[in-house]
Structure 1
Amino acid sequence: MNSGILLVDKPQGITSHDVVARVRRAAGTRKVGHAGTLDPLATGLLVLGLNSSTRLLTFLVGLDKGYDATIRLGASTTTDDSEGEIVTRASAAGVTDEAVDAGIARLSGPISQVPTTVSAIKVDGRRAYDLAREGVEVELKARDVTISEFTVLERRESTVDGLVVRDLDVRVSCSSGTYVRALARDLGSDLGVGGHLTALRRTRVGPFDVTRASVLEGIDVAPALLAPVDVAERLFPIWRMTADEATDLGHGKRVAVGFDDTDGPIAAVTPARALAGLVSVRGGGAKPIVNFPTDEVAS
């Protein structure tokens, strides 16, 4: 198989692009992309697509995510994480567990969040992090996100540079577009002592878990690939076509389907169990959203 979705456990200290570059060399193809960037500080699940399966990545980017993270209360930084310069310090000695829990409750559910300044969001065609590195003041608009879980797993207290800091190991489940760094920043701000992220690990993207991911070092790509049809069956309603329907769809003909009208996507699967494409339904007929070369992806 030379097309599929690859789950990689990204190590700390390298960019998502570095992972793509290594997988390109290991797989012997230039056609590799990823769904959702991880910062160099972060570890965990990075979802990649190879060859024609890169067409699936658009539909993976918007899936909800899961993270394990460590938030430090007692200091804020320029990047909202430990890679930035410290901007403010304050003792977190007076921050009670009850106050932390109340602050987390205010940051749970549907919230409006201002993304971290050092982010990949584009401002006038340029990435916010590039503008920030040049000293340009960037103001990003708040966006609506949903925090479905924000749970403290462990609490620790220590002294750094003479001031008490509190570290919170947390688990977060959230909608796409959420910045966990911004949650750390906003929790610290709400508690009046500042906050930033010191560790971040992505554990889940939609139904895909980091426990099923491959280690990057010495990765053997081919046996680790998930077939496009296996991925589609976990994400979309399935239209199992007859041979004639598959032929007609491949020729661009209108094919009647037994689904209610929807913008899609619905996964069109051939009798040989290959993903022929993703379709929407209009007037009882299938309309292709994206097609796949079934000779390449048959499993």
Structure 2
Amino acid sequence: MTSHDVVSRVRRLAGTRKVGHAGTLDPMATGLLLLGVNDATRLLHYLVGLDKEYTATIRLGWGTTTDDAEGEPLTPASAETVAGVDDTAISNGIRDLTGDLEQVPSSVSAIKVDGKRAYHRVRGGETVELAARSVRVSEFEQLAVRRDGASIDVDVRVAVSSGTYVRALARDLGAALGVGGHLTALRRTRVGRFPVTDASALEPLDVAATIVGAADAARSALPVVELDPAAAIDLGHGKRIAAPADAPAATPIAAIVGDRLVAVVERRGDQFRVLTGFPDGGAA
């Protein structure tokens, strides 16, 4: 099931076309997908860049054309080479892939190359080379190791910055160990401060009963400034209002009055200016 499939189903359940998501999940992946409904879709832009946490299984022994189990297998390492990869080597490889990295994304990704998605180019027979990008792997924890001779399965938990490809971590770990590697399972367990344990199952889904108010969602995702009613009216009309000196600069801030999201703002000098307004409070 794709993320677009989920959006289509929620559109039917919610009775509105205005549904979007805050970050695609690969079709093979499970776990958390953040959705916005009606005017709250305007908030999704500010959720896409939140850090994320996953559990995953990396299979060492061979790579694939897509760096996951959906791709064609590449030449496998010999059983002797795989057997020579001990637990210490795996732990050291994981340690070396923790922190600030320059990561080359998987070629089968949604990144655009000259206006066309990389995965479309690859599936069309083109060779695609993507530039490395700066990412941060803040946590990379080995949970379990299982061996069957031809391969080694490593269960892991990773916390990463937005834009990090867990498939690429599997590929790079396998390359560093000299045996190849790819991803066989992936589950997103957290986006920012939204945990999968707070999510509702898609089947069945009562949209009205499970909606989180836009103000509450913004509080979980952004710094917050609490407004008085007069300032909320001015901001709602697009006016600039005074910003406290300790408000963070050059970052989106949720401007809230009571339980209503008025706008996402940015501090410029000693004033707040509106980045995105929510005339109805983003009630849905």
In the superposition, the TM-score normalised over structure 2's length comes to 0.95
Pairing partner for 2:141 from 148, 151, 155: 151
Verify: 1:72 aligned to 2:62, yes or no: no
The one-letter amino acid of 1:230's match is D
The residue number in structure 2 matching 1:192 is: 178
SS for the counterpart of 2:151 is strand
SS for the counterpart of 2:74 is strand
Verify: 1:57 aligned to 2:44, yes or no: yes
Pairing partner for 1:241 from 220, 223, 227: 227
The residue number in structure 2 matching 1:212 is: 198
The residue number in structure 1 matching 2:243 is: 257
Deviation by residue 1:1-32 (Cα, 9 ceiling, x = unmatched):
xxxxxxxxxxxxx1110000001011011011
The structure with more strand, counted as a fraction of residues: 1
The one-letter amino acid of 2:121's match is L
Structure 1's 295 and 121: CA in aligned 2 closer, same or farther, altered over 3 A? Answer: closer
Give the conservation status (yes or no) of the 8 Å contact 1:239–1:268: yes
The residue number in structure 2 matching 1:125 is: 115
Structure 1's 295 and 181: CA in aligned 2 closer, same or farther, altered over 3 A? Answer: closer
SS for the counterpart of 1:80 is coil
CA distance in 2, matches of 1:73, 1:24: 40
The residue number in structure 1 matching 2:267 is: 281
The one-letter amino acid of 2:198's match is R
SS for the counterpart of 2:144 is strand
Using the TM superposition, give the Cα deviation of residue 258 of structure 1 relative to its aligned residue in structure 2, in angstroms: 2.0
The one-letter amino acid of 2:112's match is K
Verify: 1:83 aligned to 2:70, yes or no: yes
The one-letter amino acid of 1:205's match is V
The residue number in structure 1 matching 2:277 is: 291
Verify: 1:181 aligned to 2:171, yes or no: no
Using the TM superposition, give the Cα deviation of residue 253 of structure 1 relative to its aligned residue in structure 2, in angstroms: 2.5
Using the TM superposition, give the Cα deviation of residue 269 of structure 1 relative to its aligned residue in structure 2, in angstroms: 1.3
Using the TM superposition, give the Cα deviation of residue 158 of structure 1 relative to its aligned residue in structure 2, in angstroms: 1.1
CA distance in 2, matches of 1:193, 1:19: 36
Give the conservation status (yes or no) of the 8 Å contact 1:66–1:202: yes
The residue number in structure 2 matching 1:226 is: 212
Deviation by residue 1:83-141 (Cα, 9 ceiling, x = unmatched):
11111101211111111111111111111110001100000001001111001100000
The residue number in structure 2 matching 1:5 is: none
CA distance in 2, matches of 1:175, 1:25: 32
Give the conservation status (yes or no) of the 8 Å contact 2:213–2:282: no
Deviation by residue 1:229-269 (Cα, 9 ceiling, x = unmatched):
00111222322222221122222233223244622322111
SS for the counterpart of 1:36 is coil
CA distance in 2, matches of 1:167, 1:260: 49
Structure 2 unaligned runs (5+)? none
SS for the counterpart of 1:234 is helix
CA distance in 1, matches of 2:251, 2:151: 49
Pairing partner for 1:35 from 22, 31, 45: 22
Structure 1's 296 and 232: CA in aligned 2 closer, same or farther, altered over 3 A? Answer: closer
The residue number in structure 2 matching 1:108 is: 98
Mapping of 1:12-27 within 5 angstroms?
Answer: 14-27=1-14
The count of residues paired between Structure 1 and Structure 2 equals 280
The residue number in structure 1 matching 2:255 is: 268
In the superposition, the TM-score normalised over structure 1's length comes to 0.90
CA distance in 2, matches of 1:207, 1:295: 21
Using the TM superposition, give the Cα deviation of residue 81 of structure 1 relative to its aligned residue in structure 2, in angstroms: 0.6
Structure 1's 58 and 208: CA in aligned 2 closer, same or farther, altered over 3 A? Answer: same
CA distance in 1, matches of 2:264, 2:220: 13
Percent identity over the alignment is 59
Structure 1's 131 and 245: CA in aligned 2 closer, same or farther, altered over 3 A? Answer: same
The residue number in structure 2 matching 1:98 is: 88
Give the conservation status (yes or no) of the 8 Å contact 2:56–2:185: yes
CA distance in 2, matches of 1:188, 1:56: 38
